[in-house]
Each structure stands twice: as C-alpha cells, then as structure tokens.
C-alpha cells in the first residue's frame, strides 16, 4: 500500500544527494507514520501528523525525536504527496536543555561527543580526532583537521556545545592533547566504539534502530537549512 510512496520519498531524498544512511533514517520515520495512520496517503492531512506526534509524545518519546519525525514527514508531505504543510497545526516542539543532576565522566564524555556532532555537523572520525587546541572560545569555532577532502576547515561552535565541552573538560582533568582519549590507552577512540555507544543510546531511548551518529550530522544541516541559516552550507562540509 505504501511501497510506491516510500520509493518516491527515497528518490526525492537521493536527488538532494543525501547519503544512504541518512535516507534510511528518514525513511523509517515516514514508514512508522504511515503504518500508524493505516489509510490512503492521498487522504492524509496535517491534523493526522499532529495526532500522531501527540500520541508518540504520550508514549514517552522526547521532543528531539518528535522533531525528527516532524522533519521527515514534512519533507514527505511537500515533496511526495504535495500537501501544503501547516506549521501552526504541526509546530516543532521546544527542546528542553537540562543536564542530569549527576553525570559520570564517561556519561559526560559521550554527551559531549554527540552534542559536538549534532551542533557542528562534524563526522564521527573528525570528532574523535579533536584536540584541545581545536576548540576556539574566542572565535566560537572548531578547527577540523584533515577532512575527507584533505583540507583543514572550521565549523561553528555553539554556546550550548561549548558549555557541555567545558563541563566535560573540567570533569576529565583538563586534557591538553586528545580531547576525547581512550580511557585505557590514552590514544584516539575508534569510530566503531562511538557507533556502539550510539546503538545503546538509541535502544534505551526507543528510537529507530537505524539511527546512527551520521544522522546527527545530517540533522544538523537539515535543521539549519529549515531555519534559513546559510551557515549550514558553510559548516556541513566539515
């Protein structure tokens, strides 16, 4: 019933030159929504999205996850179903920025890495290779060395990200070399290590299993573009 629509959605995402993992991530969100509605897509309205998101909120999903559903479904409505989107009926949810009362160093470390990926658009490999000197408080920038294009670049450093990085830095003993070292060897972490942490976090939060660290990077760019922020183009290449 929905296969052809999901195929059209995938094609619409590919024409934007999105990566396969990003496409699968958004496709899962749309698939969950369609299965929940159980009616012909042509009959869908923005009120259906509103009802779906409210139901998911009652199930305990967090605002960040609900906003990802919002972004995916909105793209589906606009580019596949050609339904006019109503931001008043389906607004994005306000995010709560609260830190746990007590965090272990490892908890803070993972939080700092994930927040850095989401708020700066950096790849996993770039985050695990960050050094203390790559963080510029003065310019509110992060120096990204040796990117996939073998060029050094700078990406944005948000105030929120800086606050979390600062908390982590003090808790970890003020590291001056590798910012996120392996606690056993002192060397760089591996991409696989962070992906495993992400899988556990995704499972605990009840998110779609195909959500990956790369989704954080893609969501960074998507959310900035939705807000009309030209910095997305500048920073997304990090």
Among candidate residues 89, 6, 104, the one with its CA nearest the CA of residue 53: 89
Give burial (CB, 10 Å; 0-12/13-18/19+) of 177. Answer: exposed
**Are 141 and 219 part of one and the same domain?**
yes
Q: What is the pLDDT of residue 210?
A: 57
**Are 230 and 151 part of one and the same domain?**
yes
**Are 69 and 128 part of one and the same domain?**
no
Q: What is the pLDDT of residue 91?
A: 92
**Are 125 and 185 part of one and the same domain?**
yes
**Are 117 and 210 part of one and the same domain?**
yes
Give every strand in the sheet of 153-156, ordered side by side.
135-136, 141-144, 153-156
Tokens 């807000």, located at residue: 227
Say how far apart CA 196 and CA 206 lie, in whole Å: 15
Domain annotation covers residue 96:
no
Domain annotation covers residue 122:
yes
**Are 68 and 112 part of one and the same domain?**
no
**Are 150 and 47 part of one and the same domain?**
no
Among candidate residues 97, 71, 104, the one with its CA nearest the CA of residue 161: 97
**Are 170 and 62 part of one and the same domain?**
no
Averaged pLDDT in 10-residue chunks for the chain of 238 residues: 84 82 85 90 93 93 88 92 92 66 60 84 86 92 70 82 92 88 86 77 60 54 43 42
Q: What is the CATH classification number for the domain harbouring 110?
A: 1.10.443.10
- Assign 143 to helix, strand or coil: strand
**Are 75 and 119 part of one and the same domain?**
no
Supply 124's token pair: 């996993």
Strand partners, 181: 188
Domain annotation covers residue 161:
yes
The model scores a pTM over 0.75: no
Report whether 141 contacts 153 (CB < 8 A).
Answer: no
Say how far apart CA 86 and CA 78 lie, in whole Å: 11
Q: What is the CATH classification number for the domain harbouring 57?
A: 1.10.150.130
**Are 229 and 117 part of one and the same domain?**
yes
Domain finish residue from 48, 81, 114? 81
Domain annotation covers residue 87:
no
**Are 70 and 140 part of one and the same domain?**
no
- Assign 127 to helix, strand or coil: helix
Task: Collect all residues with Cβ–Cβ distance below 8 Å to 163 and sequence separation of at least 6.
Answer: none
Q: In terms of residue numbers, what domain contains 220?
A: 105-235
What domain count does the chain have?
2
Strand partners, 144: 153
Half-sphere exposure of residue 95, counting CA atoms within 13 Å on the CB side? 9
Q: Nearest-5° angle of CA 208, CA 224, CA 17?
A: 65
Total residues belonging to the chain:
238
Strand partners, 142: 135, 155
Domain annotation covers residue 185:
yes
**Are 218 and 110 part of one and the same domain?**
yes
Domain annotation covers residue 11:
yes
Q: What is the pLDDT of residue 223?
A: 42
Domain annotation covers residue 163:
yes
Domain annotation covers residue 114:
yes
């Amino acid at each position: 019933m929905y296969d052809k629509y999901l195929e059209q959605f995938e094609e619409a995402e590919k024409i934007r030159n999105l990566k396969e993992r990003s496409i699968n991530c958004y496709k899962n969100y749309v698939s969950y929504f369609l299965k929940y509605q159980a009616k012909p897509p042509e009959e869908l309205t923005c009120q259906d999205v509103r009802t779906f998101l409210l139901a998911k909120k009652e199930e305990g999903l967090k605002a960040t996850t609900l906003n990802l559903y919002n972004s995916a479904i909105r793209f589906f409505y606009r580019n596949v179903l050609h339904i006019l989107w109503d931001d008043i009926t389906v607004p994005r949810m306000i995010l709560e920025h609260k830190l746990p009362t007590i965090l272990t160093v490892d908890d803070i470390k993972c939080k700092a890495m994930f927040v850095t990926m989401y708020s700066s658009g950096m790849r996993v490999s770039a985050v695990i290779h960050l050094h203390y000197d790559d963080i510029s408080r003065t310019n509110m920038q992060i120096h990204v060395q040796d990117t996939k294009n073998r060029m050094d670049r700078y990406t944005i450093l948000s105030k929120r990200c800086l606050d979390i990085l600062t908390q982590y830095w003090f808790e970890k003993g003020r590291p001056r070399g590798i910012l996120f070292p392996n606690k056993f060897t002192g060397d760089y972490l591996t991409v696989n290590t962070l992906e495993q942490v992400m899988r556990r976090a995704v499972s605990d939060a009840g998110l779609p299993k195909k959500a990956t660290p790369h989704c954080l990077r893609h969501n960074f760019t998507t959310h900035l573009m939705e807000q009309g922020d030209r910095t997305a183009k500048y920073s997304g290449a990090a």
